A and B are shown apart, each in its own frame.
Chain A
Amino acid sequence: MPVDPVLLLDALAQALTLFLVASGLAVTFGLVGVINLAHGELLLAGAYTALAVERAGLGYWAGLALAPLVVGLLGFLLDLLVIRRLRERPLDTLLATWAAALVVRQTVVALFGPASHTIQPPIPGSVVLLGAPYPVHRLLVMGLALLVAALLAWLLFATRLGLMIRGAIADRTLAAVSGLAVRRLEALAFAFGAGLAGLAGAATAPLLSVDPQMGLGFLLPAFLAVLVAPGGGPAGTAIGAALVGGGESLVAAFASPVLAQLAVLAGAVVLLRRVAGRRAGRER
């Protein structure tokens, strides 16, 4: 069967979009050790920030620039008011972030209504790529994801801050014993991860229908991507995102979207079992 090159491009786009969402999650999971079930809602908040800014007449680009800042602040508050207080109770952190997700989602419903909205892409239209027209904004999002990947790699491996973050991920107590203000570092990382989710939300908003459920749709694939990622760095996250996002998009093209989601979820459960087993073995 000849494979349509556009199909591969779609799978790549899906994987890169997922990477954008998952990279923020990976930062908070790696450093703070918290599975933040409100991460999907941070993305939602980013998309609605873009919507609100556009409605205010400031245009899409202002929204794209503002979303990471607004959502970063939201993440900072989430860390300060919720996650920090539950450090000794990891299961309760899950529950509390799930509750926070509900609060954010329902606040969005209260402010913008339950219906879906559309945001026009800033550069409409398509370019011909591999012999077929391809939407420009989708290419922009792919470029942004690559940019974020490069930025993350630079930040983690070429700066003092990155060294501190890698140290705190490797051993939190030893980092404090080395004179690092670990709590401040974690707050910064959490806000940064949230900002990335906000950026992802604003960037992908013109490709999707913006509705209150869109966060949940991204949360699970992003989680699976992070949990099955080999290693904690951006490279691992990219592999996880490629497996989950690319796989889903390819199965969806050959079978049906529902089946694709099921297949990917089932595959991830199997992968997760192995990863979880490996982690448990290491902790022992």
Chain B
Amino acid sequence: MLEVRGLVAGYRPGAPVLAGVDLELASGRVLAVMGRNGAGKSTLLKAITGLARREAGTVRLDGRGIENRPTEWIVRAGIGLVPQGRGVFPGLTVEENLRLGGLGHRRPLPPAALYTRFPVLAERRDRDAASLSGGEQRQLAIARALAGNPRFLLLDEPSEGIQPSLVEELGATLAALVAADGLGVLLVEQNLDLAARLADECLVLEDGRVVDRLPGPVLADEPARIERHLGL
């Protein structure tokens, strides 16, 4: 169980982006975080993984406080992060990216295990990661985070900038991971279709606060309720 309580965090002292966020995420569940640009979605993921500056609040993993730990410790404890953007090591091959994703971890997944989930990466294994297409890079970024065999995966806008058919495929892969491995996913997403398909619950962030909590099916059944928040 990943629990966040009263999290206040940002990048400069005295200028917090998050103004007190609570959430909990259980294994095998998907929690979507939605909101407009600048609402603090990415900062939430960075604060959980120690990349943003925490000013108050706690983050607990299975009841143990992890909020004061350095990023690499938090990641090794079982929280994987796929950052926004390309999220791969340029200049390293696909296989090196995947090996590097597992190097610091006690029970890494070998590249071979990841290739079964992402077959296209197997074909590109000796290519420079920077030479991959946008969709392939996104798959590599997720596979790289999975190489550490995390129990919780934090995804920052995985569908951004890739074509709709690939978003579809990505959704299927993620759904399979959650169902088969009991992975807990915290999904920051602007794409309502992808969020609706995966999420068990949805948090709406506005100005660094949670302003609404909706059960997952609402996203699919009553999109107007969420679109109001997103200003669509």
The chain A residues found within 8 Å of chain B, CB to CB, are 160, 163-164, 166-167, 170-171, 173-183
Contact = CB atoms under 8 A, between A and B. Distances in A.
Contacts of B83: 173-174, 177
16 contacts: A163-B92, A163-B96, A163-B100, A164-B103, A170-B91, A170-B92, A173-B83, A176-B70, A178-B103, A178-B144, A179-B104, A179-B105, A179-B148, A180-B100, A180-B103, A183-B70
Given A160-B103, A174-B88, A180-B104, 5 more contacts: A167-B89, A170-B89, A170-B91, A179-B75, A179-B101
A183 B76 CA distance: 16
A5 B229 CA distance: 77
Contact of A176 (B75, B99, B145): B75
B121 to A, nearest CB: 16
A180 B88 CA distance: 15
B159 interface: no
Contacts of A177: 49, 51, 71, 75, 81, 83, 145
Contact of A174 (B70, B87, B147): B87
B interface residue count range (under 10 / 10 to 19 / 20 to 34 / 35 or more): 20 to 34
A167 to B, nearest CB: 5
Nearest to A170: B89
B130 to A, nearest CB: 9
Contact of B89 (A171, A176, A179): A171
B75 A163 contact: no
Contacts of A171: 89-90
B72 interface: yes
Given A163-B96, A173-B51, A173-B83, A178 B91 contact: no
Contacts of B92: 163, 166-167, 170
Contacts of B147: 178
Contacts of A170: 89-92
Given A160-B103, A163-B96, A163-B103, A178 B90 contact: no
Nearest to B106: A179
Contact of B75 (A160, A166, A178): A178
